Amino acid sequence: MGERTREPGSNPIQKIGSYCDEIHAEVVEDLHIGEYGYKYRMVEGRVMPPYITPGRYTLSRHIATRRGDICYTSFPKSGSTWLANVIYLITHRGETPADRTLRSCLNWVESSWTYPRSVQELDAQPSPRIFKSHMPWDMALGGNPAGNPCKYLYIARNPKDVAVSYFHFESDKQWSGNYNGPWEHWLRMFMEGRVQRGDWFDHVLSWWAFRDAENMLFLHYEDLNRDFRGELNRIAQFLGYSLTQKEHALITHKASFDYMREDRFTNHQEITDLETFFRKGKIGSWRELFTPDQSEAFDRLCAERIAGSGLEFDFG
Ligand code: PPS
């Protein structure tokens, strides 16, 4: 098993073209433009990105999953790309193809943006098929996860870091959400559940309620950050893989923040405007933007919304 660090420019991966509402939002009349230009679509009463089109969403709900399928899911900016890479590396014993990207190896059925698949393409794919989603439980891929042959992994991150990471993400890129307002306003929208993918608390709690289901693994970004070794073993075991020491070391290396930021397999270089995707990769970067008053208000909201659920977060 060789470790390949790719030199910049050494492989043929091409840009996939720019995001465009006229193409990717499909039903453009449905779109709303909120405060500070923030664009979204309502799906099942939730704020969603424009590229979650009615047709793609319906397909994602009705897709026939099979034994061996893996679906990872999260609220945006919670470490899902990191988890995707870990899943890919486990299921491929640490090897990655030189002529493809992680994104192109995943099935993001609910989205019309980046590698949308037809039913025929999905049916023809060998196991294990890896599905990406950012949906709450009641909008999950494959209908009801509890009665589904698919294995689900949910990754949650402390919501202050999510809010900050999401603000940078939506402010830095010029497509889809296109938010161009200040942090204070973004934070208010986040706390009121008005950012794309809806209310963070509802989202996380919806999956947390099913954390003990046999086909479900609930993960925390902060655990991966603090104890990658232990979490890698947990994920591998859940997926039914036993890793050799060498594979373990290779995966640990290839899933590190610095490696993923540089490697063309993972660094989203095929998409315009995602150059800042690998931003900090740390616990506690919320301190950059939260004022003491904002932090207190957020803590009060957390106490109200997750009290009694048993769900706890490490804020660094
Ligand atoms: S997205 O756009 O919703 O799919 O974003 P997502 O991948 O869920 O989350 C992006 C944040 O995860 C950080 N990240 C990592 N942290 C630590 N280690 C590794 N390997 C890693 N890979 C991605 C990424 O930097 C984003 O967090 P911030 O705080 O913005 O840096």
Per-residue pLDDT at 275: 82
Q: What is the CATH number of the domain that holds 214?
A: 3.40.50.300
Which of the two residues, 172 and 198, has the higher pLDDT score? 198
Helices (H), the chain: 54-62, 80-91, 102-105, 119-124, 159-172, 183-191, 200-208, 221-226, 228-239, 245-254, 257-262, 292-306
Give the three-state DSSP class for 130: strand
CA distance 174 to 276: 12
Residue 290 lies in a domain: yes
**pLDDT over threshold 60, residue 172:** yes
Q: What is the distance in A from the centroid of ligand 1 to the CA of 29?
A: 32
Residue 4 lies in a domain: no
- Our count of domains for the chain comes to 1
Q: Which of 63, 230, 57, 29 is nearest to 149 (CA)?
A: 63
Residue 3 lies in a domain: no
Residue 2 lies in a domain: no
**pLDDT over threshold 50, residue 5:** no
The catalytic site residues sit at 134
What is the total residue count of the chain?
A: 316
Give the three-state DSSP class for 139: helix
Residue 13 lies in a domain: no
Average pLDDT, the chain: 93
Q: What average pLDDT score do residues 278-291 get?
A: 97
Residue 92's domain spans which residues? Answer: 21-306
Rounded (5°) CA angle 99-104-108: 175
**pLDDT over threshold 70, residue 148:** yes
Q: Which of 116, 132, 113 is nearest to 73 (CA)?
A: 132
On whether the CB atoms of residues 28 and 57 are closer than 8 A, the answer is: no
Q: What are 17-41's pLDDT values in tens digits? A: 788 898 899 999 999 999 999 999 9
Residue 311 lies in a domain: no
The number of the ligand 1 atom at minimal distance from the alpha carbon of 84 is 7
Q: Whose CA is nearest to atom 12 of ligand 1?
A: 79
Q: What is the distance in A from the centroid of ligand 1 to the CA of 159?
A: 13
Q: Whose CA is nearest to atom 23 of ligand 1?
A: 82
Ligand 1 binding pocket mutation candidate from 77, 186, 289 (most atoms within 8 A of CB): 77
Residue 12 lies in a domain: no
**pLDDT over threshold 70, residue 105:** yes
The number of the ligand 1 atom at minimal distance from the alpha carbon of 80 is 8
Q: What are 235-269's pLDDT values in tens digits? A: 999 999 999 999 999 999 999 999 999 999 999 98
The pLDDT confidence band at residue 133, using thresholds 50, 70 and 90, is: very high
Q: What is the distance in A from the centroid of ligand 1 to the CA of 18?
A: 21
Q: What average pLDDT score do residues 144-151 get?
A: 94
CA distance 212 to 232: 19
Residue 74 lies in a domain: yes
Q: What is the distance in A from the centroid of ligand 1 to the CA of 166?
A: 10
The number of the ligand 1 atom at minimal distance from the alpha carbon of 279 is 31
